[in-house]
Amino acid sequence: MAGQANETKTAFEAMGGHDTIRRVVNRFYDLMDSEPAYAELRAMHAPDLAPMRESLASFLAGWSGGPRDWFEQNPGKCMMSAHGGFAISQKTAAQWAEAMQRAIADCGPESRELGDALAKILSQLAMGMARD
């Protein structure tokens, strides 16, 4: 048991840190930008997705236990209320969840178990934002 606490990794570390998060986030927005199935979700976003690639990657880093830059730059900002101004339906939430599941399956962490857990919790977060 000795030393076990020191071996405990954050989810951020276990999934491969910034490199994995950037790959997943870029794949997610590439899918959103190119797949007709996500057109409705895409239309809700600004034409230039570059700021969102930065913002979501930075949020996910802090959210998973890594560097907290996004949280320091957005003090007190709650992700659920930040989306309160968008008309998020079950349909667009499901598009978000599916694109994220695909992005994680395509280029997420090496561990299948960790990837599945990540996809599940992010999908639940997204579905919780639907207001219809």
Among 16, 65, 83, 107, binds ligand HEM (CB under 6 A): 83
Among 19, 34, 82, 84, binds ligand HEM (CB under 6 A): 82
Residue 9 DSSP symbol? P
Q: Is 26 in the site for ligand HEM (CB under 6 A)?
A: no
**Residues 6 or more apart from 24 whose CB is under 8 A from it?**
60, 100, 103, 104, 107, 108
Among 55, 107, 116, 117, binds ligand HEM (CB under 6 A): 55
Query: If you write DSSP's letter for every residue of 80-113 in order, what string do you get?
Result: HHHTTTS---HHHHHHHHHHHHHHHHHHS-S-HH
Among 15, 25, 32, 41, binds ligand HEM (CB under 6 A): 41
Q: Is 57 in the site for ligand HEM (CB under 6 A)?
A: no
Q: Is 88 in the site for ligand HEM (CB under 6 A)?
A: yes
**Residues 6 or more apart from 8 whose CB is under 8 A from it?**
none
Q: Is 11 in the site for ligand HEM (CB under 6 A)?
A: no
Nearest of 91, 97, 78, 99 to residue 130 by alpha carbon: 91
| Footprint of ligand HEM (CB under 6 A) | 41, 44-46, 52, 55-56, 59, 74, 79, 82-83, 86, 88, 92-93, 96, 122, 125-126, 129
